[in-house]
Amino acid sequence: MTPAAFFERPASAGWEIVPVPGVADVNCWAWFRPGTLPAGVAVTIPPDVIGLPGAVLPFSLVQLIHAVGLTWDQLVSVSFYGEPWQSAAFCQATAAEFLPCPPAVANVQILLMAGQQTLAVPQPQPTAHLLSSEAEVFVPSQAVTSQFHRLETGWKACQGMERQLAGLRQQLSGVLGRLGALDRDLRPAERMGAARQEKDEWQDTRRWIRDAASKVQRCLKAHDIGVTSAAGRRNMIQERYEQSSGDVDGFTDLTSCLHEVESYRKELANLFNNMGSTLQGANTNGIQRAQRVLSKISAQASKKRVQDRGRP
């Protein structure tokens, strides 16, 4: 079913269910033209769609805007989970990638601001007033003002992702400790009660645990000393941003700085996706697998103890 065009929709009276195109059995809740966003739509991600913190949603930004009847040309800006607004142009590079899940205990809404595509009409600029016979008032052009705005929005988005990465790092550190505790030999009672097949299964599970722990350690290392860390490019990017954002006279190469901030944001997004998938894999292939096998062995050990007590 094709979604109704956004500009033909009336304002919602409440939350509406909107199917996400291209994804089976996945719906979101949408409120079209709410009072706080008359030219947009608020989308809430339902709990059953959200996976583990740090994982990804099963759809992209492109699929989400199509679900609410928008085209990419009609999208003006986006706000993810209460973070600052980002322009559509800024989001375009990663628009086809799966969206990250909202961080734990966070706003689970994505706000989309729409606008009809129109041509900008040049406005006459006021004549600069002379301060002296040789100096004039500096008036930034519209293009420069737009670049300043994109630079500020981009850096705030990077800071938001850094906070999410810090939360993921804490979760990965906790998971690493749990994996270390699970990587152990069977206790005497467990060895006595386990059959040969279950012992082999536990040895195979320990290999999964070690593999998951190795991946977690690599992610922690990438976060702590990789390109997005203070030991990498992070401090240099911040210094460039502070110099450029405070340069009202326009001496700094804004285009170059904007490119570096956008490149840094993509590196953060890649690290975010890697850490999220590693966290999910460590839980599924490491912790949950180990708990299932140990639970089976424990049940066998208990059964054997009961049998032993019943013997004369």
Most confident of 256-260, 296-300, 306-310: 296-300
Task: Using pLDDT thresholds of 50, 70 and 90, give the confidence band for residue 247.
Answer: low
Asked if the model's pLDDT at residue 10 lies above 80, the reply is yes
For the entire predicted model, the pTM comes to 0.54
Q: Are 63 and 205 in a shared domain?
A: no
Q: Are 47 and 91 in a shared domain?
A: yes
Q: Is residue 31 part of a domain?
A: yes
Looking at 78, 98, 115, the residue that finishes a domain is: 115
Q: Is residue 124 part of a domain?
A: no
Q: Are 109 and 170 in a shared domain?
A: no
Residue 90: name the closest of 37, 151, 165, 140 by CA.
151
pLDDT in tens, 254-269: 778 888 888 888 898 8
Q: Are 265 and 150 in a shared domain?
A: yes
Q: Is residue 60 part of a domain?
A: yes
Q: Are 74 and 5 in a shared domain?
A: yes
For the chain, first and last CA: distance in Å? Answer: 71
Q: Are 295 and 240 in a shared domain?
A: yes
Alpha-carbon distance of 172 to 280, in angstroms, equals 10
Q: Is residue 125 part of a domain?
A: no
Q: Is residue 128 part of a domain?
A: no
Residue 167: name the closest of 271, 77, 17, 94 by CA.
271
pLDDT in tens, 186-215: 999 888 888 899 999 999 999 999 999 999
Would residue 53 be called left, alpha or beta, if left means φ above 0 and alpha means ψ between -120 and 50 degrees? beta
Q: Where are the beta strands (DSSP E) in 147-237?
A: none
CB 87 within 8 A of CB 258: no
Comparing 31-40, 140-149, 208-217, 258-267, the range with the smallest average pLDDT is 140-149
Q: Are 87 and 166 in a shared domain?
A: no
Looking at 99, 115, 131, the residue that finishes a domain is: 115
Q: Are 155 and 270 in a shared domain?
A: yes
pLDDT of residue 207: 96
Looking at 68, 98, 115, the residue that finishes a domain is: 115
Q: Are 151 and 284 in a shared domain?
A: yes
CB 215 within 8 A of CB 282: yes
Number of structural domains in the chain: 2
Alpha-carbon distance of 264 to 279, in angstroms, equals 22
Sign of the CA dihedral with 173 first, then 178, 179, and 181 last: positive
Q: Are 33 and 74 in a shared domain?
A: yes
Q: Are 152 and 295 in a shared domain?
A: yes
For 61-83, the DSSP string reads HHHHHHHTT--GGGEEEEEETTP
Q: Is residue 281 part of a domain?
A: yes
Q: Is residue 130 part of a domain?
A: no
CB 23 within 8 A of CB 75: no
CB 161 within 8 A of CB 272: yes
Q: For strand 75-80 and strand 109-114, is the pairing parallel, antiparallel, or unpaired?
A: antiparallel
The mean per-residue pLDDT over the stretch 267-276 comes to 89
Asked if the model's pLDDT at residue 30 lies above 70, the reply is yes
Q: Is residue 162 part of a domain?
A: yes
Q: Are 102 and 154 in a shared domain?
A: no
Domain carrying residue 94: 1-115
pLDDT greater at residue 97 or residue 311? 97
